[in-house]
Amino acid sequence: MRAAVLRGPGDVVVEERPVPEPGPGEVLVRVTAVGVCGSDTHYYDHGRIGRYVVEAPLVLGHEAAGEVVALGPGVTAPAVGQRVSVEPGVPDLTCAQCLAGRYNLCPGMRFFATPPVDGALAEYVTVHAAFAHPVPDGLGNDAAALLEPLSVGIWACRRGGVTAGSRVLVVGAGPIGLVSVQAALAFGATEVVVSDVNPARLALARELGATAVVDARSERPTDLGDPPGVLLECSGVPAAIAEGIRALDRAGRAVLVGMGGDEVPLPLSVVQERELEVTGTFRYAGTWPTAIALVAAGRVDLDRLVTGSYDLDGTEDALTARRRDPGSVKVVVRPGP
């Protein structure tokens, strides 16, 4: 099979590799679509993210969908021919975090495209059968792949307690911010305000249902009247984090979704005086059934986020698309074969 392999910063090649054999409890998936994430571009640009360093050739890509083509020993479902969305992290299922239902925090997690674990930018990939989620026929391949970032938004809304009548501020209108907007509305939020510096992204947020937008170059969220009860901070920008926290209503909750620096200034007096809750969020757990249902019901539009597509030979172009085109939102690689 062919796979797109990162050999070092700025060095991606397509090479031949053996088709993997599904082991016990696994299925072999023919990959039909892979969304390019900011983590993929960061590995491409820098060869590392924090403590995760690309020390050996690595296949990128963790937002994936495909079709089951073979079953490993002991597997009866999903069946051969079933289209699936891939949940890219496999926990050990035995640790205290897993047993408590927090498998996203499993210290033994093996996550696609996180060194040294290969990802899905290849023609075939093996997947734990329990994490190959069947999708209905009406849900396309690109959308099936983008259930992964949607899961990030769903998990953020759960962590923030978004419910019917919530007022939500989403800071950062990148792909995660835009799926968080849709997830918040699907969870029942009546007001969803989006803040960003990119007018095109703000226009798309409006199109996807945001009730108001804030151009952070000249406006502040506090200019819009009633303060939000939930902040979904999707930018990771230190100044934006502080500004979003200051905009929160009393007893509000700030959910830090975007990955910023290790240390950021925090307006502690505001947190204390308003009894705010500031919480982190890491990936997701148990989100795929909700994600599939929301997209299948037309409550979330993932196809609208796709601004470009490439074949496997165009992987490098896919990884640099946002650098070349500020209007790029989400690009998808379709490996074939």
Q: Where are the alpha helices (DSSP H) in 18-101?
A: 38-46, 96-99
Q: Answer yes or no: same fold for 2-134+302-333 and 153-280.
A: no
Query: pLDDT category, 312, cuts 50, 70, 90?
Result: very high
**CA 276, 280, 286, 288 torsion-angle sign:** positive
327 pLDDT above the threshold of 90:
no
Please state the CATH superfamily assignment of the domain spanning residues 153-280 in this structure. NAD(P)-binding Rossmann-like Domain (3.40.50.720)
pLDDT tens profile 152-192:
999 999 999 999 999 999 999 999 999 999 999 999 999 99
The tokens 């379709």 sit on which residue?
334
Query: Which pLDDT value is given to residue 183?
Result: 99
Class of domain 2-134+302-333: alpha beta
Q: At what angle do helices 288-296 and 175-186 cross, to 10 degrees?
A: 80
Q: Where are the alpha helices (DSSP H) in 117-253?
A: 141-145, 147-160, 175-186, 199-207, 238-247
337 pLDDT above the threshold of 70:
no
* Residue type, position 118, single letter: D
Query: Which pLDDT value is given to residue 261?
Result: 74
Bridge partner residues of 59 (DSSP): 5
pLDDT tens profile 243-301:
999 999 999 999 999 987 778 889 999 999 999 999 999 999 999 999 999 999 999 99
11 pLDDT above the threshold of 90:
yes
Distance CA 287, CA 107 (A): 19
Q: Torsion angle, CA of 65/103/129/75, rounded to 10 degrees?
A: 180
252 Cβ contact partners less than 8 Å away, ≥ 6 residues apart = 227, 228, 229, 230, 231, 274, 276, 277
Q: Torsion angle, CA of 67/70/74/75, rounded to 10 degrees?
A: 20
Q: Is residue 337 reached through a cis peptide bond, with omega within 30 degrees of 0 on the bond before it?
A: yes
Instruction: Quote the tokens at residue 41.
Output: 């571009």
The SS3 call for residue 234 is: coil
Mean pLDDT of 117-141: 98
Mean pLDDT of the chain: 96
Mean pLDDT of 13-28: 98
- Domain extents in the chain: 2-134+302-333, 153-280
Query: pLDDT category, 221, cuts 50, 70, 90?
Result: confident
| % residues pLDDT > 90 (the chain) | 93
